[in-house]
Structure 1
């Protein structure tokens, strides 16, 4: 962690294949021959589209085999029925899929096929930009421009003509605006994100939202306007706010309206997955990392009450760790105790 990582500018990202609850099987599949890997991938996809379900009032796909859903089943079997019932506040809701690794296709196919069974919209996060997260805890990403183009092409291809929302590259543009990403990478970043928008928009039923941080990070929305324009916001459907953060919905809406006026009146979506109690009071230390006492926010919906806010989404998967702080596991790992706390604190 560098000195510039603080509660305002850096948040953890789920950058692992836990996005679909069974992604740890990927390692085993990759270690065998091509035939074994294909069979393992088919098995994973088949498992992920079992038991289609969708809560009333949401158009988004619910993963029936998410870590939360698996935890509910385990607790019921082990006699923790009351905890299992509380955790259903997470398990029964739709949240985003973060395809990870060099081959995103199988995870998107699983979400695509599951969503098709309930005529739902899948929510996806593309998070593989080169020089990701300024080389910090969620560092990584594609090793070259050419590979990123190949990866985003596979990402888009596997959506096919199904309904999808794609949140494009969390942190990438805010890290340009706050100076965390070195200047020598800025032009490459604008170029690749702009190309990614164009590629994803070739899919007929895909909406694309560029990540634009949160109102407690880049406090002057004008600092994001030029990076968004340079990165293809004109061709995108809008921008995303509060990804993996805790800022109140009303503050995000106010900020989103100001930013929208600077980028052609584009619409936006807001991550409400963990903002039910707002952020942890105080701005020092690791207020962003697994803060105690937080709660789930508004359930995913397109009924936001604001004409510019297209949807409230659970982009960060509630219950997955922000990082190894406050007793938590590595970033992106399922943490049942923290998940239960979020659910219990929810009014």
Structure 2
């Protein structure tokens, strides 16, 4: 399919806004800037595999980097070696309103973009702030009120547009869980607006597309179409999950076929040993395929393997883990041992 960005007419954006307003009045619904001020044009960001052009970026101040510095200070050379390896591996940079609220998220994104540009690399941001975001899992609750969400995403888009290119993965689990949570109308409206803002700013955009052991592609594809996935680069699979690369490639190609050939990325950070029936901090897991653009001859619509979820971080307070998103040294070391590091 052609991936030339087809901007939604302003009337449709207003319709989306009106739908959101049924749930909560939506303030500040100005559209995106229409293109990047300092980077590539908005259309090009959706037609090109960003991961094939530049290596991924590793935030030098990530939780893994801080854990490595702490291990070094304590003289723990084994932990330092593992945590350094994790810190030097490109991973997703998660943007939540709890850690980066309105007014602070933009400067943080600008700092990351500047660092990535200086290294000639591409950062991957994970936008994770939709209202009641973890409505099925219970370990990553929170998010912004609907009335604030669009402005927060716009702040991200504006900051990301100032560099040489950035990738955004939009709202892990939000569409796949919308069916179970009875959140379809609100989430479709908010994500459609977020996708448009990011794409208009020239950010290569992948909407979260669940994984192979969750919602059937035939049920998820209509939601992805509604939010405009066919107008951007594509979708992401297996984010924060453990399904094998093989299962995700099959799933991704099936979903792509229902979406006119949309491209996709696979989160391979923690799927080295595949999945079990436990989704939250399952024991015995291993690190997966290193982040890389999909090799020639791989699945035709696969753009890259990416570590979207930083693999040393907890899924939540389950199976002995700390709160979601915190670096968990013991599990990081156990996964390293399972991986033969």
Common topology (TM > 0.5): yes
Equivalent position SS for 2:196: helix
CA distance in 2 between partners of 1:142 and 1:100 (Å): 9
Q: Normalising by structure 1, report the TM-score.
A: 0.77
Q: How far 1:278 moved relative to its partner?
A: 0.9
Distance 1:131 1:77 in 2: 39
Map of 2:145 onto structure 1:
143
Verify the 8 A CA contact 1:197 1:235 in the aligned structure 2: no
Check whether the contact 1:89–1:343 (CA below 8 A) recurs between aligned residues: no
Contact map agreement 1:275 1:296 (CA 8 A) in 2: yes
From 62, 65, 87, give the equivalent of 2:61.
65
Structure 1 residue runs without a partner (length 5+): 1-56
The 8 Å contact of residues 296 and 346 in structure 1, kept in 2 or not, is answered as yes
Q: How high is the TM-score relative to the length of structure 2?
A: 0.78
Give 1:166 shift. 0.5
Unaligned ranges ≥5, structure 2: 1-52
1:37 aligned residue: none
Would you say the 8 A contact 2:54–2:122 is kept in 1?
no
1:264 aligns with 2:260: yes
Per the alignment, residue 157 of structure 1 pairs with: 158
Aligned counterparts of 1:303 and 1:259: Cα–Cα separation in 2: 17
Distance 1:333 1:297 in 2: 20
CA RMSD of aligned residues (A): 1.7
Which range moves more in the overlay, 63-72 or 220-229? 63-72
Structure 2: how far apart are the matches of 1:63 and 1:295? 22
Q: Is the 8 A contact 1:90 1:343 kept in 2?
A: no
Q: How does 1:100-111 map to 2 (within 5 A)?
A: 100-101=96-97, 102-103=101-102, 104-111=105-112
8 Å CA contact 1:58, 1:300 repeated in 2: no
Aligned residue in 2 for 1:186: 184
1:11 aligned residue: none
Q: In the superposition, relative to structure 1, how do residues 58 and 82 fare at CA in structure 2: closer, same or farther (>3 Å)?
A: farther
1:212 lines up with 2:209 in the alignment: yes
Q: Cα deviations across residues 256-304 of structure 1 (Å, max 9, x unaligned)?
A: 0011010111010000010011113xx2xxx111111111111111134
Partner of 2:197 in structure 1? Answer: 199
2:290 is aligned to 299
Indicate the residue corresponding to 2:30 in structure 1: none
C-alpha distance 131-77 of structure 1, shift in aligned 2 (>3 A) = closer
> Aligned to 1:128, what secondary structure does the other structure show?
coil
SS at match of 2:204: strand
Residue 140 of structure 2 is aligned to residue 175 of structure 1:
no
Return the offset for 1:240. 0.5
